[in-house]
Amino acid sequence: MNFFPPAPVGALLLCAWLVGSAVRADPTPNVLWIVVDDMSANFASNGETLIRTPNVDRLAREGTQFDHAFVTVPVCSPCRSAFITGMYQTSIGAHHHRSGRGELKIELPAGVVPIPELFQQAGYFTCIGSGLPGISPNGKPTNRDRLGKTDYNFEWDAGMYDSHDWAGRNDGQPFFMQVHLPGGKLRGGTDRSAIELSRRAEQELGGSVDPESVTLPPYYPRDPVLLRDWAAYLDSVRFTDDYVGKLIERLEREGLLDQTLVIFMTDHGISHARGKQFLYDEGTHVPFVVRGPGIPAGVRRGDLIEHIDMAAISLSAAGIAIPGRLHAQDVFAADYQPRDAVFSARDRCDETVDRIRSVRTDEYLYIRNFFPGRPLLQPNVYKDSKSILQALRGLHASGRLDAVAERVLFRETRPAEELYRWTEDRWQVTDLAADPSLRPTLTALRERLDRWILETGDQGEESEAMYDSDMAAYLGGRAGERESLTKRNIELMKRWAAEGK
């Protein structure tokens, strides 16, 4: 398991990276983003011991690794809406998952421009795809090369991408490339698909992870379904690492590696009961590695960063002016001041309405639940279709979960505020919000979150009209049992809202 032990920034560490950051990149390096779905920091360079990940480890060894990188939202579409603009998703109205897909649309605020457009305006060839012509993101051969995953919640111009691959650029033209990989999605959502991925690992990677060898978070039982799923997840990390290796090989073969800024990260943590969609470390902590011209090599940093910083890092490396209103920061700038806190938010995910906000300092994680009268695991067709959730709900119904799992996962209500000493409490199981000795800390973090909400223009809850518009789009794409379950959940959300729950 990855324990990513805390690495506070000290004088020596600050000196190391500040000295390196004084040497900036060539003004026209290529920029390559590798963004992976549904994956936590389970790489050997982050401390994972059950698997080998030599290629991501190489990027870390030849570049800078950030041990404390966190997403501003732990679900795909708002996370991608945030990093493609360098803005908090809550500030641009793109914070509800798969929103703006119905009759009502979301437009970016005036002056907010997607990052690919800024690169394109600077003369870059912009592309988004698999990064390996003839190979699909899942690692299998294909005769259909196409644009890669976008999943943005706002209206955008498809012309901001010139192609699916950098091979089509003019001679000497730098490229900005996004490679999006399925990552943890490779294991699917069922026990059968997890078993199939393990078999694929046997055939293609020379072996698979033994389910009995994995260590689960303390609130997950050692149920065979959960163990097989976690083992398959670790095999998905291995497949991802293998794909990264092939990307590096292509860059080397074409003589581009040392001219290219490579950033590797994931869009949120593992898709699990308390991971994806939630603001605990299981959902928000991600790997983040930067390698390329002007980037200090062999450095591990412990300062707090946000995933949106990828935007500012890339613009700066390319010599493109960073728009003044960006929330992203160039964490390699000579005048960079490490953040004293990072923030994250969760809002509606599919049909399930929620609103959670968090602020994290170098010691504490404060979480605010705006709907404390609702359970943590509200009904959600996407998550409830997964074998791991079905197994957990079955064990709960039959009274076979231990006290920790019941308390963490299946309480009927949630506290309005939670407080964890995350640097010591790896999985955030000990809530300190009621500790009298920490009342000053709780008050200070409460006020810090309030300021962030105000200063960044957090747009908060979704209007009923927008919810209805997006739910019409959801139902239009579903049939049979999924459609009926979605309708049931929509009705439940509306009833709870009417009850003030």
Residue ranges of the domains in the chain?
Answer: 346-462
Taking the C-alpha atoms of residue 289 and residue 69, their distance in angstroms, rounded to an integer, is: 10
Sequence-distant (≥ 6) Cβ neighbours of residue 444 within 8 angstroms: none
pLDDT at 3 over 90: no
pLDDT at 478: 82
pLDDT at 24 over 90: no
For the question of whether the overall pTM of this predicted structure is more than 0.85, the answer is: yes
Tokens linked to 230 = 């976690």
Q: 10 falls in which pLDDT band (50, 70, 90)?
A: very low
**Residue pLDDT, tens place only, 78-117:** 999 999 999 999 999 999 999 999 999 999 999 999 999 9
pLDDT at 479: 82
Compute the mean pLDDT over every residue in the chain, rounded to the nearest whole number.
94
Pick from 61-65, 139-143, 399-403: least confident: 139-143
pLDDT at 146: 87
**Residue pLDDT, tens place only, 361-389:** 999 999 999 999 999 999 999 999 999 99
- Residue 164 Cα distances to 46, 85, 125, 391, angstroms: 31, 20, 10, 40
pLDDT at 14 over 90: no
Taking the C-alpha atoms of residue 164 and residue 130, their distance in angstroms, rounded to an integer, is: 8
Taking the C-alpha atoms of residue 218 and residue 26, their distance in angstroms, rounded to an integer, is: 47
pLDDT at 52 over 60: yes
**Residue pLDDT, tens place only, 262-317:** 999 999 999 999 999 999 999 999 999 999 999 999 999 999 999 999 999 999 99
- Residue 104 Cα distances to 177, 370, 431, 483, 491, angstroms: 31, 25, 40, 21, 20
Q: Which helix (H) or strand (E) holds 394?
A: helix 387-397
pLDDT at 1: 37
pLDDT at 27: 61
Residues 317-344: what's their mean pLDDT? 96
**Residue pLDDT, tens place only, 482-495:** 999 999 999 999 99
**Residue pLDDT, tens place only, 389-435:** 999 999 999 999 999 999 999 999 999 999 999 999 999 999 999 99
Taking the C-alpha atoms of residue 76 and residue 290, their distance in angstroms, rounded to an integer, is: 21
3-class secondary-structure state, position 189: coil
Residues 347-373: what's their mean pLDDT? 98
pLDDT at 421: 98
Q: Percent of the chain, pLDDT > 70?
A: 95
Q: 19 falls in which pLDDT band (50, 70, 90)?
A: very low
Residues 154-183: what's their mean pLDDT? 97
3-class secondary-structure state, position 181: strand
Helices (H), 401-501: 403-409, 439-455, 464-476, 480-498
pLDDT at 224 over 70: yes
pLDDT at 331 over 80: yes
